Structure 1
Amino acid sequence: MPKLTDTQTIILSAAAQRADNLAMPLPNGLHGAAAKKVIAMMIGRGWLEEVDANLRKGEPLWRETGDGHGTTLVITDAGLLAIGLEPVVVKTMAAIRTHAAQPPASKPPTPRAGTKQAQIITLLQRPEGATIAEIVAATGWQAHSARGMISGALKKKLGLQVSTEQVKGRGRIYRV
């Protein structure tokens, strides 16, 4: 096992404990030229590696590349070995932490029975479907409210596949 400074040990240990093995953010008080010198040496020894930062996930930047992108630092297998950790164990623990951090899959929302939303769904599930005029008559709503319920609550929130077609003599028909 190589001889590490306290700063190197802190950086590598912190990276090994993070689910994505990021070495960023660096310890408090380490910035500027001192940070560049320590990181350059650690990259040179193969303990850290620069990778493209995923800005959508909010990964911290080590440096900007000038084209609107940036890089971040991750610990390598050699870095894990330098602090006495087996890479396979760390990767397994990282996968467990990542899995545990994910929220449980939410169940799809279901409409309550006896509501106007349930009435509309029943109308749309009929083989002949329903027109906006029929929905307005059943609910007492304005036409724009009925259309809003179809596009907002039924399509977006409940994820129902609502189809529409123009029928002669009847007008626009909506079906689930």
Structure 2
Amino acid sequence: MISGFPTIAAAVVILLCITDQCTAQTTNCSALASNGDCSFYDCLSTKFQCTANDYPLAYGRKHCLRYASESSCFSTGGQAWITNVSRCLMQSIVNSALYNDVNTTCDQLETFAFESHPRCYIDNGFCTDILLSDQCQNLVCIGNEIFTDRDFYTKQAIDQITRTAASCSSRISTFLLDARECSLSSPDHAL
């Protein structure tokens, strides 16, 4: 018997378990992102040791769950947009250099995530499926059901709205003509 063998064997087993857990966590986050599963943000928060006030939980998970729970408010095109945007936002993070960098901070993750939002919105049909939905159904859902608190009043949100709307410039005149028939249920929200 080799002296200290049980101790060395135990250390190897522990090391393998730790390595497998780290690999499994990375794999699970990736798999969750591929499926557009809102649990991705819990996994991301754990991976980067973020707090409840950081992007993964305070914004990412919060809005992912809100869109999922309110999806019946949206048209069929709006529901497809939600699914595709959710995957896009998550995959943007997983495919970024930040995701595999152990030195990534939660602030860096937040900056990157917010910068990816307009592209994901636009590439998945915001200008058609959301902006031009019949009687503004999808915009009404976003305004009345999704952004029910002061989410629209942050610098990041205003920047996202501006960048997204600027990409829809060829559709704005159609939207403005259609918008006369749109109404939001709350007096606090008006088009």
TM-score (norm 2): 0.25
| Structure with the higher helix share, 1 or 2 | 2
Q: Which structure would you say has the larger Rg?
A: 1
